[in-house]
Structure 1
Amino acid sequence: MAQPNLGKPQPSSHTWVEPIVVIGIMIASCYINRQRRKPADRGQGLFNRPNLDLEDEPNGSNIYDEQELLFFSVAESSWPTSHGRKSRLCCGFKLDTVNTSQFATHWHSRVLEKFPFLVEMFYWALNFSCYAAAKAVGETFFANGDVWQMAEKHGIAVLWFEQDGPFKFLFPFREVDVQHFFMSEHQGMLTLLNRTYSLVHIPATVGFLGWYYYSAPTHSHFAAVRRMMTLTNILSFVIFTFWPCMPPRLLPKEYGFFDTVRREDAQSVWASGKFFNQLAAFPSLHFGYAFCVGATLIFHSGVFRRQPGPRGKQWSRVRQGVFVFLGVLYPAFVLTIIVATANHYWLDALAAAVVVALAWKCNRVLLGFLPLEDLFLWCIRLKKPFPTTGSRL
């Protein structure tokens, strides 16, 4: 049987180009989001209060209301004006935690004050650590069983649910038919999907975080989105650990799928090595990230906003339409990529959307870890920098 046309793989240079692109985006994000105010000007205004932690801002629907900004100016009086202890709310209880403002003159505090986006890079390093830990826990949990066989059964069960289950009307097109459509009639498009598969995951997500850190009207907007993506990761890691699922490309050949991405040097440098989990198809983090980005773009457009944005500004209909279009197009494009390349099922994307919605609803649960963060900062003698998000407004 002749090998079908799977499209062209990525060039060999991709293995070193992609890390350079990611590092370049991080450096650019740190520079663009740097603190531009002079030291004498810091400590003035809402976003530079000496003891105000903007991570605690509420993320309700009235976040654009000027009364809310006034609330933070008044609420400042409840914070210590010296280097006393801070008050935190954790699980409904009020806790007194250490105040690290006395370390503001330390050299690493000054570096972070100048480049506060470095904090976000640290948070995502923690995310990667959670991913690696989840993979290790999963391997330990199924050490006495055949995890590969179990993941294959789960993948086949997903196909049955889509094609023969009670909700099969939600999945009118089979994944194998979508892939064969591109292989037989649109090889050029399949080449684009192959080469874009890895680029839309890490580089595009990092680029989005850098852009939204700069563009969000307040840091609470950005922090809420970041917590949503972090909680999406955590929930997904739990599912990966206890319900491994084989992607379509790894199923037996009789199911008709082909691995169009991982040929020669086609895979992402981040999707290889001992920390990469090949049995983490359900839910799809590719689509989960894309859904987070798309939902944020639509929210950022302001089409569902009853009140004008900060300072009473209202975007034009054309600009709003562009953001809504991109907010719909990007997740749809990523969905096409992951299905056409046989890396995910339709159900993986649907599950990812549900996980993202749950993560958004519960994202403030991560604020319960702020006391631990305070303790960690105290141990390394570091003062958390104030974000530059929103200062341009």
Structure 2
Amino acid sequence: MEVPPLSLSTSSPTPLTSAPPDFNSDPAWKLPGWFEPVVVACILFGACYFTRRRRYSVFGGVRKRISILDDDSVSSRNALLSGSDTELSSRESSDGEDDDSYYSDISTLKNPPKRRSCCGITFWTPNTSRFKDNWHSRVLHKFPFLLEMFYWVITYIIYRLTHIFAQLYFEKSIWDVAQANGLRILAFEQFSPFRFAFPVMEIQVQNWFLQNHPLFLTILNKFYALIHIPGSVYFMAWYYYAAPRHAIFAKVRRTVTLCNLLAFVVFTMYPCMPPRLLPKEYGFIDTVRRDSAESVWMAGKFVNHLAAMPSMHFGYSFMIGVTCLYHAGAFRWLGCGYENKSSKGLRIALGVFGAMYPLALLTTIVATANHYYMDVIVAIFVATFSLLCNRVFMVFVPLEDLLFWCLRVERPRHNTGVGFKR
């Protein structure tokens, strides 16, 4: 069913085929193209610094003072060379993602193989601990967050490739297919039996901001462009630093990764044109581009502009919000909450942020005509499914062991939460 163009604009006393003359005649708060990459780089390398092993030297192992008057100084030095350290042993032991067999294999062999289980099948993979003295192993041991950065780079490359795959799949008709899918979504929201769930249309939300609060809409444009990637990267970096255990952080990271991959499949198989790119007779305005607020990550020939369904802007905010609410203890009444022993002020702050951040992103993506309501609903479903099925990535653990073996590097042990607790 095609949406009649007039059904989207009759609620407004003035036509919305173009933005009002007084809306951002001059781009506001124009940022240079290097600003966002520099911000993201500062966040990532700052996280590497703050999550480093402070008592470990790339060139000399664990740093610890040994008294010159100690009669047993030789045995003390041997203990240090063997890696025995209170901080490393008590706080950096198995984290739930790395099974006990990862570091606690007991065998007569010097470097016994690791026992891995996948799909009911037991695998034995080579033990990379023999490479612990290699220079790149020592760098990773000093800065374990570098491994998280590697995961992010791989995910970002896959996203960049979705545009190419979708283009190959639909060939030259991809824009027509994406426009038709966008119009079907509008038709579903306005004319299906479920239209009661969408009492306020997207065009009405944008029109309200355009006519009454153009300055606030300018703020939302910047918010849309600058928060998604820098904000999400900052949260994952902070969470690696602050999470109680790496097992908890790993579950969130796997959930985000699986949500990304599922969204990338939808982007490729179901291209969807965002409201801002629909023909002008449907009334939507591309306020982000008119305001010169487009993110540098949203530019270039490899960016998929037809990836409205699902909304990963909201999907990320939803996962971040749920994580904050979990640590605030908001789900304890369901029997799956987290008993946070932090201060009451911190718990309240986490709860307020966890509730308000997704709502702020929802308002932003609708007011700027970047997503439909259905994009948000599908994003919630994808994120929930990813949370329930995130352990599917454990099937790649044997392959990861082989990759580290080929690179001749020991997989670093994580020190999540150590710096925050200190």
Give TM-score, length-normalised by structure 1: 0.89
Distance 1:362 1:308, change over 3 A: closer
1:295 aligns with 2:337: no
CA deviations 1:127-151 (Å, max 9, x no partner) are: 01211232222111112x5110010
- C-alpha distance in 2, partners of 1:287/1:307? 23
Quote the RMSD (CA, aligned, Å): 2.3
- C-alpha distance in 2, partners of 1:75/1:146? 50
Question: 2:330 touches 2:337 (CA, 8 Å); kept in 1?
Answer: no
Give the counterpart of 2:125 among 97, 100, 109.
Answer: 97
1:18 aligns with 2:36: yes
Give the counterpart of 1:111 among 133, 139, 156.
Answer: 139
Secondary structure of the residue aligned to 1:95 is strand
Matched residue type, 2:47: S
Query: Where does residue 215 of structure 2 map in the other structure?
Result: 188
Question: 2:48 touches 2:145 (CA, 8 Å); kept in 1?
Answer: yes
1:275 aligns with 2:275: no
CA deviations 1:247-291 (Å, max 9, x no partner) are: 000001111000000136421110010220000000001111111
Structure 2: gaps (5+ residues): 1-16, 57-61, 63-79
How many angstroms does 1:345 deviate by?
A: 0.6
Secondary structure of the residue aligned to 2:288 is coil
Runs of 4+ in 1 over 6 A off after TM superposition: 306-310
CA deviations 1:70-100 (Å, max 9, x no partner) are: xx6x996546673121111212211111211
Query: Where does residue 114 of structure 2 map in the other structure?
Result: 86
CA deviations 1:22-45 (Å, max 9, x no partner) are: 111111111111112342354842
Give the counterpart of 1:320 among 339, 344, 347.
Answer: 347
Which stretch shows the higher mean deviation, 21-30 or 75-84? 75-84
1:371 aligns with 2:398: yes
Secondary structure of the residue aligned to 2:199 is coil
Matched residue type, 2:31: S
Distance 1:184 1:321, change over 3 A: same
Which stretch shows the higher mean deviation, 13-22 or 377-386? 13-22
Distance 1:149 1:307, change over 3 A: closer
Distance 1:86 1:267, change over 3 A: same
How many angstroms does 1:56 deviate by?
A: 3.4
How many angstroms does 1:10 deviate by?
A: 4.9
Question: 1:248 touches 1:345 (CA, 8 Å); kept in 2?
Answer: yes
Query: Where does residue 247 of structure 1 map in the other structure?
Result: 274
Between Structure 1 and Structure 2, how many residues are aligned? 373
Distance 1:77 1:365, change over 3 A: same
Question: 1:9 touches 1:195 (CA, 8 Å); kept in 2?
Answer: no
Identity across matched positions, percent: 45
Query: Where does residue 89 of structure 2 map in the other structure?
Result: 45
- C-alpha distance in 2, partners of 1:132/1:197? 19
Distance 1:75 1:141, change over 3 A: closer
Distance 1:75 1:103, change over 3 A: closer
How many angstroms does 1:2 deviate by?
A: 6.9
CA deviations 1:97-133 (Å, max 9, x no partner) are: 1211111111111111111111111001110121123
Which structure has the larger Rg over C-alpha atoms? 2
Secondary structure of the residue aligned to 1:262 is helix
Give the 5 Å matches for 1:1-393.
3-4=19-20, 5-7=22-24, 9-38=27-56, 39=62, 40=80, 41-42=84-85, 44-49=88-93, 52=94, 54-56=96-98, 77-78=104-105, 82-143=110-171, 145-263=172-290, 265-305=292-332, 314-392=341-419, 393=421
Question: 1:14 touches 1:265 (CA, 8 Å); kept in 2?
Answer: no
- C-alpha distance in 1, partners of 2:391/2:240? 18
Matched residue type, 1:36: R
Question: 2:105 touches 2:114 (CA, 8 Å); kept in 1?
Answer: no
Secondary structure of the residue aligned to 1:45 is helix
